[in-house]
Amino acid sequence: MRFTKSIDKFNLARFFKAQTAEKAPLLLTQRRVYILPTGAGVFFGGLLLVMLMGAINYNNSLGFMLTFLLAGLNVISILYTYRNLLHLQVSTRTIAPVFAGERLLVPVLLDNGGHGARFSVQLYFQGESPVACDVPANSWTQVELPLASKRRGLHVLEQFTLCSTFPLGLFRTWSPVRFDTTYLVYAKPAKQSGLPQEALYQPKQTGDKGRGSDDFAGLRGYHQGDSLRHIHWKTLAKDQGLHTKQFGGDRSDELWLDWRSLEHLDKEARIAQLTRWVIDAEQTGICYGLWTPQTQHAPAHGDAHKHNCLRTLALID
Amino acid sequence: MNTPAHNSRYDVRTSPLKTPPRKLREQWQDRLHHKLDSAPAANLWLFAGLAMVVLPHFAYQKFAIMVCCSVLLLWRLLYDLKTTALPPRWLRIVLAFAAFAGVGTLHHTIFGRDAGVSLLLIMLCLKLLEMKKQRDFIVAVSLGYFVVITGFLYSQTMLIAVYMFGTIIVLTTALIASNRLASAWNDMANVRLAGSMLVLAIPMAALLFVLFPRLPTPLWGLPDDAFAGKTGLSDQMSPGQISRLSDDDAVAFRVQFNSPLPRPSQLYWRGPVFSHFDGKTWRHDTTIEIPDTIDNTTADTKHSDSGAYGTLNKQDIVGRDTPVAYSVTLEPHNQRWLFALEMPAVLPANGKFNDAFELLSRQPVKKLVHYEMRSYLDYDLQPQRLSNRHVYLQLPSNIGIKAQELILQLITSIANQQDRDEKIVAAILNYFRQQPFFYTKQPPLLRDDPIDEFLFETRQGFCEHYASAFTFLMRAAGIPARVVTGYQGGEFNTLGDYLIVRQSDAHAWSEVWIAGKGWTRVDPTAVIPPEHVQYQEHLQRFRPSVATTTVDLTWLASTWHNIKLSWDNVNHFWNMWVIGYNNKKQNSFMSWLGLEQFGWQGLAIALFSGLSILVMLVAFHLLYRHRQSSDPVQKAYQRFCRKLESIGVRKSHSEGAAHFAQRVIRQQPELSTPVATITRLYNAIRYSDHDATDKHAENELREAVKGFHPQRLLTGYQSGKNNSNNSFK
C-alpha cells in the first residue's frame, strides 16, 4: 500500500521542472541535483560489456583488469560529474527591463563554496542557447542568460536549468531552478512618427519664452518658416524626424504625452505610441509628462523619469 | 618601430661571433609552442594517447599496417597543427575499403585475432580523419581504450600493464580536456584529475577482479591464432642441423618445492620423448606416442582414461623413496607437454601419460598453467615388461655404418658376461670420456650422416648430439633406447624460495631399458671432462647442477644478479596472482574467506556489498568532506555555517559574517537570537583587539555553536505556532 502510494506521489516531472518558485540565493543540495548517463555514456557502457565478453572468453586477466578499471572510472565519473553542480549557490541580480520582443539578459551568479573548481557548467532557459562557464574554487562567476521576452508587463522569471557533463561527458547532471524574481517588459514602441505637435505643448508658468538666440532651450517639431540654421540635423540624421532647435531665455515648453489625445487608437496601440513618445522625448532632452487614466507623471526629465513612465505604460491593464 | 629589428639584423651581420643556431632553436621552439597553442588541447592529448596505444602493436602486427596507422595518425596531428587539410569524404571511403582489402590480403582473412586487431587499428586511425564533433571524440577515445585491451592478447607482462595504465591516463586526460571550455595543452590540472580519478577507480577494479565470477571454460570457441607465437621445446630433434644453441633466457616454468630441494643431479624435467630416428631427425613414434592434437573438449570423451593414454599404473612406476612434492607454474608454450621431475608419482588434474611416459595436458598450454606434482627421484620404470620393444630398437638403414662396427667389436669383447647391458653402457660412456669429444654451443654442421660424422670426425656438439649418438649406439647393441628431452637444473631464487627453469636450461638425454631395472636414465653429455668444454660457463649446461648464485661473482655482478632475481621474483608473483588468477584460485580464495558454501551467491553478495562500501567511501571523500581550518575560531564558525547549510541557508563568499547573519534572520526570524550571538562573538574575536591568549571568548563561541540546533529550533517553532493557533481558536 505504502509502495503504491509512493508511486502515486512519484512525479517524473519533478526531475525536469522545479516545483515552486524559490527565493534567491538557492543552494543546490543533493535533493535537487539529478544525474543520468548521456548517449556517449550508454555507448561506453556497451563497449565495456563487449570488453568484458572478450576478457571472459580469452580468460585474459589484464583484460579483466582493464575492463574493471574503466568500469570503476565510469562510476567515479558519476560522482565527479555530480559534484560539479552539488553545493553551488545560485542567485540572480536585478534584471534590466527590455522592450517586448527584445532579448532579456538574465544575470545569474554562481557561488562556489569549496570542493574545488567547477568546470563547464552550462545554464539555459528552455528553448534558448546555453551559456557555459567555469567557477573557480572559493569564488563566484556571473553569467548572463539570454531569454526571449514575452508581452509587456511584470513577469516572474521562468525556470532555467543548470547542467554539466564534466569531466568525461559520460554522465549529465542537471538541476532545474525557478526563482520568484520578477522582470519588467516594456511595451513594444510604435513606429517612429515624430513627437506630438505644438497643440500639446503647454507653456511653462514661469520664465521668459523669448525667441532669443542666447541659450539652447530644447527641440520642438519643425514648423514651416523655421530658419534652416536652427534645424537639428542630428535627429534628422538619426531618422527621428525634423526638429528645430529652440533658443531663448530660461523658459521652455513642457510636453504632455496624453492618453486622451490618441482616442482614435485602440488600447495597445495607444500604449505603443505613448511608449514611442517617451523614448523620443527623453532623447530630445525636453521635459515631458505622461497622462494615463490610472497614473499621471508630472513633466520631468532623466532616466528615472523615463523608466517610471515606461513602467506605468507596461503595467496598464 | 622597425629600428630595433634593423639593429639586430645589422648585429648579426657585423658580429660573426653571435651564435645563430641557438637563435634558430629558440625560434623553432617558439614556433612549435605557437603551433601547439593554436591546436585544440584535447586533440593533442588524444594524439599522444593513441600513439601510445598503437606503439606496442609494432611488435605484433604486420609492419605495413603499422606504417599506415602512423601515417593516418600524423595526418590528423598535422591537421590539428593547421598544416594540412583533412581528406575529403570520398577519399575516406576509399581508404576504408582499401584498409579492408589490405588487411584481407596480408592476413588472408579479416577474421581472427591478428586480422581483427589490424582492422581495428586502421579503423581507429581513419576515425580520426573524420572527427569533428564531441561525439566523434568520445567514440575515438573509447576505441582507444578498446585497442589497449587487444594488446593484452599478445603480452600480459607487468611492464606492459604499467605502460598501458599510463596510456589510459593520457586518453582520459584527452577526454577531460575535450569537456573543458578552454584548456591549454600543458594544463597539468587535467592530467592530475585523470590520475586521481583512475587511482580512486583502482580499489573497485581490484575488488571486481578478485570477486567477479570466473568461468572455467571460454564462452565460445577462440580463433585459431588466439595464442600463436608462444615458443618452447620443439616436437622433434635434428642434431647437426642447427649450428647454434639458443641462449634464450625466457622463463620456461617456475617451481616451488614443498619438501627439501633435491640434489642438482636429480633435477631432470621430463618433456618430449623421441623414439623414431630417420637418419636425420628424431621424432615421436607415430604408433605409440604421438600427442593427440585435438584440443577441444571432445577429446576427453573420445579418449577415456584407458585407451591411447596410459594411466598411472602401479606396476609401471615403482617408487623407491618418498616422493618429493612441488608445484609448477608453466609459461604458455602452445604445446601439450607438462614438465615434471622424473618420475611423476601422481598425475596433475588436467594431465595424462602416454606410453612413452610423456606427461600431456588435454589442451595445448596456451596460458599460464599451475599444477601440483609429486615425483619419485629414485624409481623403477616398467621393470617387468616392455611392450613395443621393436619400436625402441628401430634404426635407419645406411646410417652410422662405422658406429655399428664399433658396437660389434664391443659386443664381442664382453659377450656372455653378466650384466652385459650395463657394461655396454659403461663402455660407451667411457668412449665419450676418453676420446677427444668436446662440448660446444656452436658445433660444425653435420651433412649426410649425423652419427658417423659426429662420432668419428667432428666430435664437437651439445646435448642433442651426445644423446642422439648414444641412443643410436645402444640400439645398435640391441638395447632398447630412446631420446628424452626436457630441462635440466634451474636457478634457485633464494629471495622467493623457488626454482627458475629457463629455455636455456633445455636438455636432451637418453633412456635405456635394462631387464629387471626398467628404463634407466643415462646422460652422455655429463661425462665430457671439464677441460673439453669450450667455455667454463657451459659447464653448467651439462653438469647436472643447480646454478649456485654468487659464488665466483664480483660484488657488482652479484648485486646485478640479485636485482635480476628480485625482478624475477616480482614477475613470479605477478604470474601467480594476477595473470594466473582463474576460476580455481578464485574458489580457493573464497574458501579462505569462508564463503565457499554460499557458491556464486556468496560471490555476488561479497561483490555488491564491497562495491557499495567503496562507492560510499569515495562519495563521502568527494562530496561531503569539508576542508577544515586549523584555526579553532574559524573551525567553530565553519561548523556554524555547516549547521545552517543543513537547513538550506549558505554563506556566500561575497558576503561578510554580519551580512550573512542579517540574511539568515530575515529568512528564518526564529533563529535570530543564537545567530546574532554567534556572529557577535565571532566578529568580536576576529575583528576587535582580541587578546589571543584569552581563551574565554573562544570557548564561549564553541559552546554557542555546539548548542545551536537550527533544525530543532525551526520544528519547535512550528509546533509552538500550531499550538498557539489552536489555543486561539
Residues A21-66: pLDDT tens digits?
777 778 888 888 999 999 999 999 999 999 999 898 888 889 999 9
Q: Tell me the chain B residues in contact with residue A39 when contact means C-beta distances shorter than 8 Å.
A: 135
Please report which confidence band the pLDDT of residue B109 belongs to, taking 50, 70 and 90 as the band edges: confident
Arithmetic mean of pLDDT over chain A: 82
Question: How would residue B121 be classed by pLDDT, with cut points 50, 70 and 90?
Answer: very high
Classified as helix, coil or strand, B461 is strand
Minimum mean pLDDT range among A258-267, B57-66, B537-546, B618-627: B537-546
- In this prediction, residue B552 carries a pLDDT of 54
Rounded distance between C-alpha atoms, residue B540 and residue A268, angstroms: 109
Mean pLDDT of A182-195: 86
Lowest mean pLDDT among A6-10, A240-244, B363-367: A6-10
On whether the CB atoms of residues A98 and A154 are closer than 8 A, the answer is no
Q: Residue A27 in 3-state DSSP?
A: strand
Check residue B9 and give its pLDDT.
38
Strand partners, B251: B502
For residue B175, give every residue at least 6 positions away whose Cβ sits within 8 Å of its Cβ, in sequence order, or none. Answer: A167, A168, A169, B42, B137, B138, B141, B194
Q: Is the pLDDT of residue A255 over 50?
A: yes
CA dihedral over B462, B467, B468, B470, signed as positive or negative: positive
> What's the pLDDT band for B264 if we cut at 50, 70, 90?
confident
Pick from A60, A70, A79: which is nearest to B152 by CB?
A: A60
Which of residues B37 and A276 earns the better pLDDT score?
A276
- Write out pLDDT tens, residues B511-536: 999 888 888 899 888 888 877 776 55
pLDDT for residue B5 = 39
CB burial readout B453-478, b (16+ within 10 A) else e = bbbeebbbbbbbbbbbbbbbbbbbbe
Chain B partners within 8 Å of A62 (Cβ): 152, 156, 160-161, 164, 578-579
- pLDDT band of B309, cuts 50, 70, 90: very low
By three-state DSSP, how is residue A184 classified? strand
How confident is the model at residue A94, as a pLDDT? Answer: 87
Separation of alpha carbons B360 and B363, rounded Å = 8
**Contact (CB, 8 A) for B230 and B334:** yes
Element (H, E) at B717: helix B710-728
User: Cβ of A169 under 8 Å from any chain B Cβ?
Assistant: yes
Going by pLDDT thresholds of 50, 70 and 90, the confidence category of residue B252 is confident
What was the pLDDT predicted at B692? Answer: 59
Q: Tell me which of A95 and B720 has the higher pLDDT.
A: A95
- pLDDT score, position A210: 45
Residues B651, B655, B657, B662: is their CA dihedral positive or negative?
Answer: negative
User: What's residue B295's pLDDT?
Assistant: 39
Length of chain B: 729
What are the chain A neighbours of B225 within 8 Å (beta carbons)?
none
Nearest to B336 by CA among B358, B309, B311, B363: B363
Q: Tell me if residue A164 falls in helix, strand or coil.
A: strand
Q: Do A165 and B179 touch (CB under 8 A)?
A: yes
Residue B339's H or E segment, with its range, is none
Question: In the predicted model, is pLDDT for residue B473 greater than 70?
Answer: yes
pLDDT value for B293: 44
What is the band of A7 on the pLDDT scale with cuts at 50, 70, 90?
Answer: low
Shortest Cα distance from B458 to chain A (angstroms)?
Answer: 49
Q: Which residue has the higher pLDDT, B324 or B297?
A: B324
Highest mean pLDDT among B31-35, B41-45, B381-385, B688-692: B41-45
| B541 has pLDDT over 50 | no
pLDDT at B141: 93
Tens digit of each residue's pLDDT (9 = 90 or more) over A203-218: 555 544 444 445 565 6
CA B456 to chain centre: 48
The residues, ordered by sequence, that sit 6+ positions from B680 with a Cβ below 8 Å of its Cβ are none
Question: Contact A169/B218, CB-based, under 8 Å?
Answer: no
- The residue among A27, A50, A61 with the most chain B CBs within 10 A of its CB, best to mutate, is A61
Chains A & B: contacts with CB separation below 8 Å: 179
Whether pLDDT at B296 is above 50: no
A-interface mutation test, from B650, B660, B667, B711, most A Cβ less than 10 A away: B650
What is the greatest pairwise CA distance in chain A?
Answer: 105
Kindly state the cell numbers that stand for A177: 531552478
Phi, psi of A160 (to 5 degrees): -120, 165
Q: How many helices (H) and strands (E) does chain A have?
A: 6, 18
Does any CB of chain B come closer than 8 Å to the CB of residue A53? yes
Q: Does B123 touch chain A (CB under 8 A)?
A: no
Which chain B residue has the Cα nearest residue A46? B142
Amino acid at B397: S
Least confident of A84-88, A242-246, B59-63, B70-74: A242-246
Q: What is the pLDDT of residue B332?
A: 81
Model confidence at B289, in pLDDT bands (50, 70, 90)? low
Look at B201 and A56 and tell me if their CB atoms are within 8 Å.
no
Q: Is B160 on the interface with A (CB under 8 A)?
A: yes
Taking alpha carbons only, the member of B152, B49, B622, B143 closest to residue A75 is: B622
CA distance B336 to B333: 8
Of residues B294 and A80, more confidence is placed in: A80
A57/B160 CB distance under 8 A? no
Q: What are phi and psi of B141, to 5 degrees?
A: -65, -40
Q: What is the CA radius of gyration of chain A?
A: 30
More confident residue, A49 or A266: A49
With CB atoms and an 8 Å threshold, state whether A53 touches B202.
no
Q: Is the dihedral of CA B43, B48, B53, B59 positive or negative?
A: positive
Tell me which of B136-145, B248-257, B288-297, B713-722 is least confident: B288-297
Pairing of β B351-353 and β B276-277: unpaired
Alpha-carbon dihedral sign for residues B458, B460, B462, B466:
positive
Grouping H, G, I as helix, E, B as strand and the rest as coil, residue B164 is: helix
For chain B, the average pLDDT equals 79
- All residues of chain A having their beta carbon less than 8 Å from the beta carbon of residue B138 are 40, 43-44, 169-170
Of A44, A62, A75, the CB nearest to B161: A62
Q: Distance (Å, rounded) from C-alpha B557 to C-alpha B550?
A: 8
The highest-confidence range among A75-84, B582-591, B625-634, by mean pLDDT, is A75-84
Q: Tell me the percentage of chain B whose pLDDT exceeds 70.
A: 82
User: How sure is the predictor about B545, in pLDDT bands with cuts at 50, 70 and 90?
Assistant: very low
Cα dihedral B173, B177, B178, B184, rounded to 10, equals -140
Q: What is the number of other CB atoms lying within 10 angstroms of the CB of residue B111?
A: 13
Q: Residue type for B112, please?
A: G
Q: Which comes out higher in pLDDT, residue B73 or B491?
A: B73
Option in A47, A75, A134 nearest B204 (CB)? A75
- The pLDDT of residue B691: 62
* Mean pLDDT value of segment B196-218: 88
The partner residue sitting opposite A62, judged by closest CB among B152, B193, B198, is B152
For residue B121, how many other CB atoms are within 10 A of its CB?
25
| Contact residues on chain B for A142, CB-CB shorter than 8 A | none
Does pLDDT of B325 surpass 70? yes
Mean pLDDT along residues B586-593: 80
Write phi, then psi, for B199 (nearest 5 degrees). Answer: -65, -40
Q: Partners of B519 in the beta sheet?
A: B381, B513
| Beta-bridge partners for B518 | B381, B514
pLDDT tens per residue across span A219-253 = 777 766 666 667 777 777 777 777 777 655 444 56
State ipTM. Answer: 0.79
Residue B528 is placed in which grid cell? 665430457
C-beta separation of B232 from B503 below 8 A: yes
Distance from CA of A107 to the nearest CA of B (A): 16
Q: Where residue B316 falls among pLDDT bands split at 50, 70, 90?
A: confident
The sign of the torsion formed by the CA atoms of B640, B644, B650, B655 equals: negative
**pLDDT of B81 over the 50 cut:** yes
Q: What is the mean pLDDT of the segment spanning A258-275?
A: 86
SS3 content of chain B, % helix, strand, coil (to 5): 55, 10, 35
Q: Are residues A59 and B580, on separate chains, in Cβ contact within 8 Å?
A: no
Q: Considering just the CA atoms, what is the radius of gyration of chain B in Å?
A: 38
User: With 90 as the cut, is the pLDDT of residue A72 above it?
Assistant: yes
d(CA B707, CA A76): 37
Q: Could you tell me the end-to-end alpha-carbon distance of chain A, in angstroms, rounded to an integer? A: 50
Any bridge partners for residue B487, and if so which?
B269, B506
Confidence of residue B626 (pLDDT cuts 50, 70, 90): low
